[in-house]
């Protein structure tokens, strides 16, 4: 019989494997945008306690949603050469353990929403529902990329609501920019599974129109994202520091198309993970500095 200490070690090891399989560190994509919305709402530094609960809400919601996605996609992940080594697809981790973590991180999210304000709590089931619903969109619609953009694009508006307890046009404009940005790079990433999606009857823009046209559609979405980010600066009356961040973002979006091409997807992970993490950090940093260092 295993000792309580041994069982605890095994539990934490299973948690570590699960967090690794959902790329827990990639929460960095959405987290800066949630704080970007919070900084805009506060016109500077948001209160420390609010920042703490925004962090808790983002970690809880994103982790629960990614675990949910991994669970419902097990039948497809087990067949896909790119994903068949994921812990749940291989059976290394039991679905029961994954469901328990979904419940635990969802509880963390609801607790954080409750601690923030009444509107955050009222909207919390809707937001989590959207995050969970994304996992099924690829089964029936090629615009699943836009739905993913919507799910992650909620972050800036959520950060604004966390501070002010209300929503206005500015955070919605920022959320639109994030939605276009996320949808654009998700289309590029979906090119990796083009043939698999077609074979399994799954829907995506690359599967529907091919990689070359998908790259063009992605470029249009990224231009819309860039335009939205510029409009955020105009609407919020931000200074040149913010626009420098937007310019760097534009250059990084262009560089993504230098790193990956329709006929060469070998460096997709660098374009997808590294550059997108840099983009989110650059935009947040530029906004924060612009707000804190007003001329």
In a domain, 30, yes or no: yes
Does a structural domain hold residue 36?
Answer: yes
The pLDDT, as a whole number, for residue 14 is 64
Residue 154 resides in a domain: yes
Q: What is the pLDDT of residue 98?
A: 86
Domain assignment present for residue 221? The answer is: yes
Supply the range of the domain harboring residue 78.
12-292
pLDDT of residue 231: 97
Share of the chain above pLDDT 70, in %: 88
| pLDDT top residue among 294 and 112 | 112
Predicted local distance difference test score (pLDDT) of residue 187: 95
Domain count, the chain: 1
> Where residue 90 falls among pLDDT bands split at 50, 70, 90?
confident
Domain-embedded: residue 1: no
Residue 6 belongs to a domain? no
Q: What is the pLDDT of residue 137?
A: 95
In a domain, 4, yes or no: no
Does 52 map to a domain? Answer: yes
Widest CA span of the chain, in angstroms? 68
Residue-level pLDDT at 273: 72
Residue pair 142/208 in contact (Cβ under 8 Å)? The answer is yes
pTM: 0.90
Look up the CATH number of the domain holding residue 166: 1.10.357.140
């Amino acid at each position: 019989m295993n000792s309580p200490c041994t069982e605890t070690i095994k539990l934490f090891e299973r948690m570590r494997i699960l967090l690794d399989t959902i790329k827990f560190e990639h929460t960095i994509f959405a987290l800066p945008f949630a704080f970007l919305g919070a900084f805009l709402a506060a016109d500077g530094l948001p209160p420390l306690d609010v920042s703490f609960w925004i962090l808790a809400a983002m970690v809880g919601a994103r982790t629960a949603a990614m675990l949910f996605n991994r669970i419902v996609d097990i039948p497809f992940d087990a067949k896909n050469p790119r994903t068949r080594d994921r812990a749940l697809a291989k059976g290394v981790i039991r679905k029961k353990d994954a469901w328990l973590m979904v419940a635990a991180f969802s509880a963390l999210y609801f607790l954080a929403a409750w601690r923030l304000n009444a509107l955050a709590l009222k909207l919390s089931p809707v937001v989590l529902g959207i995050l969970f619903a994304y996992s099924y969109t690829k089964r029936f619609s090629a615009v699943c990329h836009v739905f993913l953009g919507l799910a992650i694009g909620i972050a800036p508006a959520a950060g604004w609501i966390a501070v002010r307890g209300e929503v206005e046009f500015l955070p919605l404009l920022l959320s639109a920019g994030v939605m276009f940005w996320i949808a654009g790079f998700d289309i590029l990433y979906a090119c990796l599974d083009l043939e698999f999606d077609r074979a399994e009857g799954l829907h995506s823009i690359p599967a529907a129109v091919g990689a070359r046209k998908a790259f063009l559609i992605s470029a249009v979405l990224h231009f819309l994202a860039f335009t939205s980010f510029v409009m955020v600066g105009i609407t919020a009356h931000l200074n040149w520091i913010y626009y420098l961040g937007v310019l760097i973002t534009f250059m990084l979006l262009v560089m993504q198309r230098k790193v990956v091409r329709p006929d060469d997807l070998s460096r997709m992970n660098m374009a997808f993970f590294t550059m997108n993490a840099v983009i989110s950090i650059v935009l947040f940093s530029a906004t924060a500095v612009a707000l804190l260092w007003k001329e």
